[in-house]
Structure 1
Amino acid sequence: MLLENKNIVVYGAGGAIGSAVARAFAYEGARVFLTGRNRDSIDTVAKEITAAGGAAETAVVDACDETAVIGHLAAVVADAGSIDVSFNAIGIPPQGLQGIPLTDLPVENFLRPITAYTQAHFVTAKSAARHMIAQRSGVIMMNTPEPARSPLPLVGGMSVGWAAMEGLNRSMSAEWAQHGVRSICLRTTGMLDTPVIHTVYGLHADAIGIPKEQLVAAAGEMTHRKQLTTLAELTQAAVLLASDRASAMTGTVANLTGGIIVD
């Protein structure tokens, strides 16, 4: 098991990405601490994990609330003894934020994802890093879609927020890697097996005036392999990069876009 004896905190664990990654971490032997703002959602994921033989605990935590994050992490360390991985998978509903030309987008709607994403990732990362630096080991992880780097229309402030996350990833590594704390970002395409991406493609298709199925097909054709990233591919990469087998990787973006972006 790649993550045996690891203690991992997952933020946004009730969502499609957070829950899938949490299940994969638990399957590989980690003890996972699931957080989110909806108790029912994270409890459902925890029950699935424990039913499969894994170890999972839940807590209601808003990733933007520094006091709540710090308190939860202190409780985790007091109970488990360490925090080995922090994976932030929070998301923001796209309605009112995407599928709107920049000239028509209200300033507050443009700023919302920039503020929320940067605040949540900074709060959770620095709070975990304090413990990780003391123990001289740990991994900070996040996920961004390809508009973090690729110029795509109608994504509003989302692309700016995602790009800021990737910049933060580099800055964290520059300060913390010398203390044994790695920082990794996983960049994917939109993943069709997550419910929110269907909403996103619908908003964009309506704005352009084409069927959603046509837009989805066109997105897949943009990749070298002619298919978008799957949720399973993200989770498999997350497991590997969270493990000690990726010990030399830090301050980088793992490119899982299948060729939409070529490094």
Structure 2
Amino acid sequence: MENISGQLLMDKVVMVTGAGRGIGAAAAKLFAEEGASVMLVSRTESELRTVRDEITATGGNADYFTADLSDASSVEEAVKATVRRYGRLNAAFNNAGIVVTVASLVDEKEEDFDLIQSVNYKGVWLSMKAQIKAMLETSGSGAIVNSSSVGSLKGNPGLGAYGAAKRGVNSLTQTAAIEYGPAGIRVNAIAPGTTMTDMIQQWVSINPKIIEQISAKTPLRRPAEPIEVANAAAWLLSDQASFITGVILPVDGGLSA
């Protein structure tokens, strides 16, 4: 699909977590096309380097920083690196997340529960803490989009800990929107449905018919491509969404309707 305008994020400095692949990589490329300078952040340098090189090869502005988003000092260093590189922070897309083996609540392993919470929930909290501080110090305003999930909007059989972490992200998003709206910082979240990423391919390996089954329940009758989710994040980060904050926006083809 084509990008939405070509100028949505002109002259903005945007930090993207989980930028090495999937929705994060699609978003990073889109944001650069839309005029942003993009700092790519994740744990895997080889993936980040590839995305950075793809962006710069087409004339975009991007750099990368490897970080463990469940570790406060690592997250803080990533934000500081962004400010050192570009002089400020205007926006952030907190997209990093993991999913582990599909299992019922009783069968889910404690270490898997802890890992999901540390990255998908605590990682967003740590990221927002450092990003909001940097925005206030360097730009005086800003916009954040957190990546939630359609699984956060209701019960999520087989992915209980994942859905609970994402529901926690929704609460953090709305709280931050209330607390920092007076300072000019907007905070929203997107809640993607089935999206053709490595994560959904893991589910396909367990249940080969999973995409077909979910699509049958989705009004648009298909999964999303990563760029379609990235488009929603780009718009929410842009000045076109200047009076929108505290929203959890489903990007799910109508699955949650």
State the TM-score, normalized to the length of structure 1. Answer: 0.90
Matches within 5 A, 1:11-160: 11-95=17-101, 98=102, 100-134=103-137, 135-160=139-164
**How many aligned residue pairs are there?**
250
Show CA shifts across 1:146-188 (max 9, x none). 1111323111311111111111111111111110111110111
Task: Please identify the structure whose Cα radius of gyration is greater.
Answer: 1
* 8 A contact 2:99–2:162 mirrored in 1: no
* 1:239 paired residue among 212, 227, 234: 234
* 8 A contact 1:220–1:228 mirrored in 2: yes
Over aligned residues, Cα RMSD in angstroms? 1.5
**Structure 2 Cα separation of the partners of residues 138 and 188 of structure 1:** 23
Unaligned runs of 5+ in 1: 206-211
User: What does residue 253 of structure 1 align with?
Assistant: 248
**Structure 2 Cα separation of the partners of residues 50 and 83 of structure 1:** 20
* 8 A contact 1:141–1:184 mirrored in 2: yes
**Structure 2 Cα separation of the partners of residues 36 and 114 of structure 1:** 17
* 2:192 paired residue among 185, 188, 192: 188
Write the letter of the residue equivalent to 1:239.
Answer: A
SS of aligned partner of 1:175:
helix
Show CA shifts across 1:203-239 (max 9, x none). 3x2xxxxxx13x3212011112222222121111111
1:93, distance to aligned residue in structure 2 (A): 4.2
**Structure 2 Cα separation of the partners of residues 81 and 112 of structure 1:** 33
Identity of aligned residues (%): 27
**Structure 2 Cα separation of the partners of residues 31 and 50 of structure 1:** 10
**Structure 1 Cα separation of the partners of residues 236 and 145 of structure 2:** 9
* 1:222 paired residue among 217, 227, 230: 217
**Structure 1 Cα separation of the partners of residues 79 and 211 of structure 2:** 39
* 8 A contact 2:16–2:95 mirrored in 1: yes
Write the letter of the residue equivalent to 1:15.
Answer: R
**Structure 1 Cα separation of the partners of residues 70 and 238 of structure 2:** 26
Write the letter of the residue equivalent to 2:170.
Answer: E
**Structure 2 Cα separation of the partners of residues 73 and 111 of structure 1:** 24
User: What does residue 208 of structure 1 align with?
Assistant: none
Unaligned runs of 5+ in 2: 1-6
Is 1:177 the counterpart of 2:195? The answer is: no
* 8 A contact 1:86–1:140 mirrored in 2: yes
Write the letter of the residue equivalent to 1:168.
Answer: L
1:200, distance to aligned residue in structure 2 (A): 1.9
SS of aligned partner of 2:135:
helix
SS of aligned partner of 1:67:
helix
